[in-house]
Structure 1
Amino acid sequence: MSTHNANTAAGQTGITGVLLAGGQGSRMGGVDKGLVELAGQPMAAHVLARLAPQVDEIIINANQNPDAWAAFGYPVFGDDIPGYAGPLAGLHAALARASHPLVATAPCDSPFLPADLVGRLHAALLAADAQLAVAKTFDQAHPVFCLCRRDLADHLLAFLQGGGRKIDRWYGTLAVVEVAFDDEEAAFRNINTRDELAAATAELPRARTERGR
């Protein structure tokens, strides 16, 4: 049981984890990025292996290949807003389906995400009494790594129906706390191209060895 799961058992707020896999993968040649093989497994499998122990349930937002995504063993759903409207559409669909009051997101193309991501976001969200906590390394915010309150679903839907698509613009309407992960900057790398995939494949065995120390 993870640290967060243990806290939940003690009566703290539960968290739904969402794998965001609803994009078109245009820079990867139009393939479903999370299903691309990395070190012998789909890239998303590496993300899920890191995210699942940090949350109380996992759900997957994917707009293509539903059977392949269902094979991971978690509920799969597409965007409710048509036209590949971006990660905010995936977040909205997740907020509408989450079983728990808090929702944590991670993209399917970031296989090195921090093992303490959700715990640190959760602590900051509660301390600041914020609506949303977002990861940041130095001057770079990572908006697809966030923890937010499920009750923002209607607010986000109104933003999307009004034509809003940019995450930072929506965040600007909320009480947001930024959470520094300067000590784990490399963990937020995402893989968009075949060259980046090759580099990650070469580094993944080393990353596993370092985690085992």
Structure 2
Amino acid sequence: MSRPLGVILAGGQATRMGGGDKGLLALDERPILAHVMDRLAPQVGAMALNANGDAARFDAFGLPVLPDPIPGFAGPLVGVLAGLDWAAGQGAEAIVTVAADTPFFPTDLVAQLTQTAEGMAHPLALAATPRGDTDTKSMSGSGLVRHPTFGLWPTALRHDLRAALLDGLRKVVLWTDRHGGREAVFEDTSDPFFNVNTPEDLEAARRRISA
């Protein structure tokens, strides 16, 4: 498989932060999005940003801005679809997605996702951490906590994903399980998939980066 393209998911409404773009919040005197880009850029062939609304607010980052192809803030899978459509136009076989509010994700994210998906006709894998992670919303049958915005996605399945979304599917793991998606396990105990959802999270991120 050729090197995947990277898509940063920023299409959410950030309701717990009072709205706005979490990726534009300052962390160590730079936007969180800049930290995310720094981590992702060395791992992928090119990058794009999934975001809705006025794309001009992201001009300073120099990325293509991909709006959701299905209206109504239908969740992260719609952002994945936006990325897959863009990547297919670039002739890419796959994308790797990351969240715009997660500045500490692994520097070997793409390598581990790709390795996990080796041998699959359509490479599909989600990042996961062992039980004990603070967020159990995406606990899998194997006792791992899946992180649905961090995944490897094949462009070949974009039409299937579009049909599923139009049929009302919203939960990431229901679709990945349907296609035999695998779990790339990250054993890092430093909570690498920590994301900024609340003002308290932002303060925690500032303490963490200063340390």
**TM-score, with structure 2 as normaliser:** 0.88
Q: Which deviates further from its counterpart, 21-30 or 180-189?
A: 180-189
SS at match of 1:103: strand
C-alpha contact (below 8 Å) 1:135/1:145 kept by paired residues: yes
Q: 1:131 deviation in Å?
A: 3.3
User: Counterpart in 2 of 1:79?
Assistant: 68
Q: 1:74 deviation in Å?
A: 1.1
User: Counterpart in 1 of 2:93?
Assistant: 101
Task: Trace 1:101-140 onto structure 2 (pairs within 5 A).
Answer: 101-129=93-121, 131-138=123-130, 139-140=144-145
**Given the superposition, is the C-alpha separation of residues 95 and 107 from structure 1 closer, same or farther in structure 2, using an over 3 Å criterion?**
same
State the aligned residue count: 195
CA RMSD of aligned residues (A): 1.3
Which of 178, 183, 189 in structure 2 is aligned with 1:178? 183
C-alpha contact (below 8 Å) 1:86/1:165 kept by paired residues: yes
Q: 1:145 deviation in Å?
A: 0.5
User: Counterpart in 1 of 2:165?
Assistant: 160
- Amino acid corresponding to residue 193 of structure 1 in structure 2: T
SS at match of 1:106: strand
C-alpha contact (below 8 Å) 2:116/2:182 kept by paired residues: yes
SS at match of 2:178: coil
Q: 1:65 deviation in Å?
A: 3.7
**TM-score, with structure 1 as normaliser:** 0.87
User: Counterpart in 2 of 1:15?
Assistant: 4
Gaps of 5+ in 2: 131-143
User: Counterpart in 2 of 1:9?
Assistant: none
C-alpha contact (below 8 Å) 2:11/2:79 kept by paired residues: yes
2:78 is the counterpart of 1:89: yes
2:137 is the counterpart of 1:145: no
2:44 is the counterpart of 1:55: yes
Q: 1:73 deviation in Å?
A: 0.6
C-alpha contact (below 8 Å) 1:18/1:105 kept by paired residues: yes
SS at match of 2:6: strand
User: Counterpart in 2 of 1:4?
Assistant: none
Distance 2:156 2:66 in 1: 19
Higher normalized helix content (fraction of residues): 1
User: Counterpart in 2 of 1:169?
Assistant: 174
